[in-house]
A and B are shown apart, each in its own frame.
Chain A
Amino acid sequence: MSSPNEWQVDILEAAQQCVYCGYCAVCPTFRELKWETYHPRGILDQIKMYYLETTKEELKSDISKSLFDSIFACTMCKACENICIADIPLLKIWEQVRQESFKKGRWNPALLSLYNKVKDTQNIFGLPKEERVSWAGLANMVMTKRTQRKAKVAYFVGCQASYSGKMEGVAASVIKILRKARVDFTILGNEEWCCGSPVFLAGGYSVGKTFAKHNLDQFKKLGVKRVVTACAGCYRAFKIVYPRILGDKWDLEVLHISEFVAELLEQKKLKYTKTIKEKITFKDPCELVRHCGLIEPPREIIEKIPGVRYEDLPSNREEALCCGGGGLLKLNDADLTRQVNSRLIEEIEYSEAEIVVNGCPTCLDTIQQGVKKKGLDVEVIDIAELVRRAIGG
């Protein structure tokens, strides 16, 4: 197993590589807050001040106050790293500063509360473990036979689709798709623990590590080779964070539902039978597109729908706008989330789309709220729900 030290960067050295071009002004929260202390290059300046040995101790308290405030105003959307001409691993740096904040006991109460909830109940809502599969009952589905059975494919539902009433259609849609394609799959049921993404994002690695080990053990126990998820946060955790902390032991193939559907369509195991006439657009979730480089599969599967009218948003693919809900910002500063989100809603309005499709529960929730606030007549759904409609599920 690799230790965090092996993949952590020399934070000071990395910060010193900044050429101060300022291109990272693309940062969605900096654009709202405007102070250069929130500008990624300004955060790097603060990091230099904080970590330099020559900085006087009495100044470090002032610097850390500003630094930790700025770092938790970040949505971790990775737009800064994407545009950085000096190729600085900014995301790793932001993660490490969040860890430093954790070590120094400088989290805000809302973060601490989330951390404790996840630690105690293994889900982000602090709800009982036994209710993890209650979404199935609400969708009139019986999952008893699928739960904890041996299979090569596992559907990892994720906390939001498992517990949130707003996401109840997501898990049911994925199940419909898998059943329709006659995929032999399993779910972990009550033994599914949070992927750890929120605690990783907050900078608390020790708990996240326990979760990663637990989920891996469960997958191994059931003989799973491929993990399918419809949550961009879980997908990123499995794709990027688990290999870091579990090393070679994490040898599972991870697929976003859009990738899996693309494969099923290709293999003709799944077929679209229904026409969808509404104009559709897709909002690339930051965690899929910039973190994991997943760009084409969602578009491929949407464009194959009979009669589809699809158009990208003006900012798309790697340049997609952030919804404002990532990086736990929704928890830290809900107003800022709304501000960031309003830019995306403007683009959605401009696109004249009737359906906004997404692949991330956080985006989905944030966009739904933004659309409602603006009074737009737009339906916001997950890509699994769209596919379910097209297959007549």
Chain B
Amino acid sequence: MKKKTRTKFVRYLGKQMKEDYTALQIYSRDMADLPNLTKLLFNNTPDGIILPRNVEDIQRVYNLANETKTPVIPRSGGTTGFGGSIPYNKGLVIDCKGLDGELLIEPIDQTVTTSPSIIFSDLQKKLKLQGFSLCSYPSSFYSATVGGWISHGGHGIGSIKYGNVVDQIAEMQVVLPNGEIKSFSEKEDISLFFGSNGTLGIITEIKLKIKFDIPLKQFGCIFDSPVELMKGLKELQDVDPFSVWFLNPAQVSAFNDSFGYNLPRSYVAIVSKEISYEEEELTFSNNFNNSIRKAGGQILDKRYIMDIWDFRFKTFALLKEFPDFLVSEVILPIETSAKYLRKLAGLFEGSLRAEGELISNTHYSLLLYLPIEEPINDFKKSLLILKINKHVLKSKKVGGFPYSTGLWFAGYYPQIYGKEMYKRYKDFKKKVDPKNISNPGKVCSPKMRFFPLFKLKSIIRIASEFS
């Protein structure tokens, strides 16, 4: 960063800006630690970190960034492994956790107005005190922020019943990259920000729809094959579940090892249902059993269900014994993905673990973990990242797509959200961020750092093919 540019930011931000080596290193990663070799593709160490205190700070930062053509990278919980909140090529990371705001629960409208930096578990706790609950939330419930989930393109627990995060936003306020503060309440507008990775500005206030806090009851089942599992996912939609979460055979084995279980190496699903009274539970239980039988599955012994469900937000703990691991996530159609799922189970000598969550009547998300058993060098780790990416991209053949764009899948926006949406996104981006200062390198594929003739997307795709 040029001296003059730096001075401008420091003069305004003072202690709200950090530039020391240690802080820069910490902010150069998210959940996934990038191998040094990837420096050839990205320069993920920022020039500085900014902790804005309020909307005015963000406006000012955007104005200065436009003036000096400085990339601004919004960051919140930093809980995904997609790289959406780490720089593509230096710039200033804006840590949105600095944004505090009043929490306002409107019991009649059933909405809550909150700062985007609130962590889901904190928000849920506050809602529960008033008898309300979030409609859906991510599996990184204890660390992800509401704003971060919108920018990442969040589907999660409860999405099958209440939809993705866009369906739950009643209104939101955004500071656009041109410094304008704007409120959005139309779904069409809000959906522009879904999965935008902060490229369209920084969300500064959100009004979320909430629901009454109805107790959840869990039920479990086992399917021998992906075909049966897919049948089960279809059948289970008729019982109006709150969540359908499943584990692939490798993940079931990890549970077996960790809990001393002897579950068959197959697909285990835990279904959650909002149940208010005893008769409802009985009716649901009958319907559930019928659905599972129809799909060819078996009912899971009750003693396992609560143990597994209680581990719902802790499955990363199953990776603690490994020196390293890789993560990715893909969205797949129920109808056509059974074969793909079977293939995944055989990859990396059967060690690729997966957890799925039904997110709509047609699709489910699949979180992939690859534990790395022995420490490996940077080159090998880079190859493995590319290899996982290759398999995520291969899901296209069965109608699947990456969960989000982030750093690795920049350029895949049309595949994820559709071409029409992409056109709308590009038009809006051009209007509000003509200099492309808000999180450049994300969503739309950037040009290569050292070979600007090529786009990063093509390079990653080719490298993945040969990995």
Query: Do the beta carbons of A20 and B33 come within 8 Å of each other?
Result: yes
- Give chain B residues whose Cβ lies under 8 Å from the Cβ of A46: 22, 26
A36 to B25 alpha-carbon distance, docked (Å)? 11
- Give chain B residues whose Cβ lies under 8 Å from the Cβ of A35: 18, 23, 49, 51, 95
- Give chain A residues whose Cβ lies under 8 Å from the Cβ of B23: 35-37, 66
State which residues 1-25 of A face B: CB under 8 Å: 16-17, 19-23, 25
Residue of A nearest to B49 (CB): A35
Q: Mark A33-44, 1 if CB is under 8 A from B, else 0.
A: 011110000100
Known contacts: A21-B31, A22-B77, A25-B119. The answer to whether A34 contacts B51 by CB under 8 A is yes
Query: Do the beta carbons of A34 and B77 come within 8 Å of each other?
Result: no
* Interface: B67 (CB within 8 A): no
Query: Do the beta carbons of B95 and A34 come within 8 Å of each other?
Result: yes
- Give chain A residues whose Cβ lies under 8 Å from the Cβ of B125: 314-315
Query: Do the beta carbons of A42 and B26 come within 8 Å of each other?
Result: yes
Q: Mark A44-60, 1 if CB is under 8 A from B, else 0.
A: 01100100000000010
Q: Mark B60-85, 1 if CB is under 8 A from A, else 0.
A: 00000000000000000111000000
A21 to B108 alpha-carbon distance, docked (Å)? 35
Q: Among B31, B51, B143, B316, which residue has the most Cβ atoms of chain A within 10 A?
A: B143
* Interface: A391 (CB within 8 A): no
- Give chain A residues whose Cβ lies under 8 Å from the Cβ of B317: 19, 85-87
A49 to B119 alpha-carbon distance, docked (Å)? 28
- Give chain B residues whose Cβ lies under 8 Å from the Cβ of A63: 21-22
Query: Do the beta carbons of B95 and A22 come within 8 Å of each other?
Result: no
Q: Mark B5-25, 1 if CB is under 8 A from A, else 0.
A: 000000000000010111101
* Interface: B320 (CB within 8 A): yes
- Give chain B residues whose Cβ lies under 8 Å from the Cβ of A289: none
- Give chain A residues whose Cβ lies under 8 Å from the Cβ of B21: 59, 62-63
* Interface: A294 (CB within 8 A): no
* Interface: B446 (CB within 8 A): no
CB distance from B276 to the nearest CB of A (A): 23
Query: Do the beta carbons of B79 and A45 come within 8 Å of each other?
Result: no
A192 to B348 alpha-carbon distance, docked (Å)? 63
- Give chain A residues whose Cβ lies under 8 Å from the Cβ of B20: 62, 65-66
Query: Do the beta carbons of B25 and A45 come within 8 Å of each other?
Result: yes
* Interface: A67 (CB within 8 A): yes
A305 to B49 alpha-carbon distance, docked (Å)? 54
* Interface: B129 (CB within 8 A): yes
CB distance from B320 to the nearest CB of A (A): 4
* Interface: A83 (CB within 8 A): yes
Query: Do the beta carbons of B319 and A350 come within 8 Å of each other?
Result: no
Query: Do the beta carbons of A49 and B25 come within 8 Å of each other?
Result: yes
- Give chain A residues whose Cβ lies under 8 Å from the Cβ of B95: 34-36
A143 to B435 alpha-carbon distance, docked (Å)? 79
* Interface: A264 (CB within 8 A): no
Q: How many residues of B contact A (CB 8 A)?
A: 35
Residue of A nearest to B369 (CB): A19
- Give chain A residues whose Cβ lies under 8 Å from the Cβ of B33: 20
* Interface: B425 (CB within 8 A): no
Q: How many residues of A contact B (CB 8 A)?
A: 30
CB distance from A232 to the nearest CB of B (A): 25
Query: Do the beta carbons of B31 and A49 come within 8 Å of each other?
Result: no
CB distance from B3 to the nearest CB of A (A): 20
State which residues 1-55 of B face A: CB under 8 Å: 18, 20-23, 25-27, 30-33, 49, 51
- Give chain A residues whose Cβ lies under 8 Å from the Cβ of B25: 45, 49
Contact for B142 among A26, A36, A65, A314, CB less than 8 A: A26
- Give chain A residues whose Cβ lies under 8 Å from the Cβ of B320: 17, 19, 85-87
* Interface: B325 (CB within 8 A): yes
A59 to B20 alpha-carbon distance, docked (Å)? 10
* Interface: B215 (CB within 8 A): no
A350 to B130 alpha-carbon distance, docked (Å)? 11
* Interface: B350 (CB within 8 A): no
- Give chain B residues whose Cβ lies under 8 Å from the Cβ of A22: 31, 77-79, 140, 142-144
A16 to B319 alpha-carbon distance, docked (Å)? 12
Query: Do the beta carbons of A36 and B27 come within 8 Å of each other?
Result: yes
Query: Do the beta carbons of B319 and A19 come within 8 Å of each other?
Result: yes
A63 to B21 alpha-carbon distance, docked (Å)? 7
Contact for B98 among A25, A34, A49, A83, CB less than 8 A: A34
Q: Mark B454-466, 1 if CB is under 8 A from A, else 0.
A: 0000000000000
A276 to B320 alpha-carbon distance, docked (Å)? 49
* Interface: B97 (CB within 8 A): yes
Query: Do the beta carbons of B129 and A350 come within 8 Å of each other?
Result: yes
A67 to B23 alpha-carbon distance, docked (Å)? 10
A314 to B31 alpha-carbon distance, docked (Å)? 30
- Give chain B residues whose Cβ lies under 8 Å from the Cβ of A23: 142-143, 313
Q: Mark B282-315, 1 if CB is under 8 A from A, else 0.
A: 0000000000000000000000000000000110
* Interface: B346 (CB within 8 A): no
Contact for A19 among B22, B77, B98, B316, CB less than 8 A: B316
A65 to B32 alpha-carbon distance, docked (Å)? 25
CB distance from B130 to the nearest CB of A (A): 11
State which residues 262-300 of A face B: CB under 8 Å: none
A63 to B18 alpha-carbon distance, docked (Å)? 13
* Interface: B323 (CB within 8 A): yes
Query: Do the beta carbons of A25 and B316 come within 8 Å of each other?
Result: no
A66 to B95 alpha-carbon distance, docked (Å)? 18
Query: Do the beta carbons of A37 and B143 come within 8 Å of each other?
Result: no
- Give chain B residues whose Cβ lies under 8 Å from the Cβ of A45: 25-26
A327 to B413 alpha-carbon distance, docked (Å)? 48
A19 to B315 alpha-carbon distance, docked (Å)? 11
A374 to B318 alpha-carbon distance, docked (Å)? 44
Query: Do the beta carbons of B323 and A16 come within 8 Å of each other?
Result: yes
Residue of B nearest to A20 (CB): B31
Contact for A21 among B26, B49, B129, B143, CB less than 8 A: B143
State which residues 75-107 of B face A: CB under 8 Å: 77-79, 95, 97-98
CB distance from B346 to the nearest CB of A (A): 25
- Give chain B residues whose Cβ lies under 8 Å from the Cβ of A85: 314, 316-317, 320
State which residues 80-97 of A face B: CB under 8 Å: 83, 85-87
- Would you mind naming 17 contact pairs between A and B with Cβ atoms under 8 Å apart? A19-B320, A19-B325, A20-B31, A21-B79, A21-B142, A22-B77, A22-B78, A22-B79, A23-B143, A23-B313, A25-B142, A46-B26, A63-B21, A63-B22, A66-B22, A67-B22, A86-B320
Where the two chains meet, the residues of A that have a C-beta atom closer than 8 Å to any C-beta of B are 16-17, 19-23, 25-26, 34-37, 42, 45-46, 49, 59, 62-63, 65-67, 83, 85-87, 314-315, 350
Other than the given A34-B51, A85-B314, 15 more pairs (CB < 8 A) read A16-B323, A19-B316, A20-B30, A20-B31, A21-B31, A21-B79, A21-B143, A22-B78, A23-B313, A34-B98, A42-B26, A49-B22, A86-B320, A314-B125, A315-B125
What are the 9 closest A-B residue pairs judged by CB atoms, nearest first?
A: A22-B143, A85-B317, A86-B320, A66-B22, A23-B142, A85-B314, A19-B316, A34-B97, A62-B21
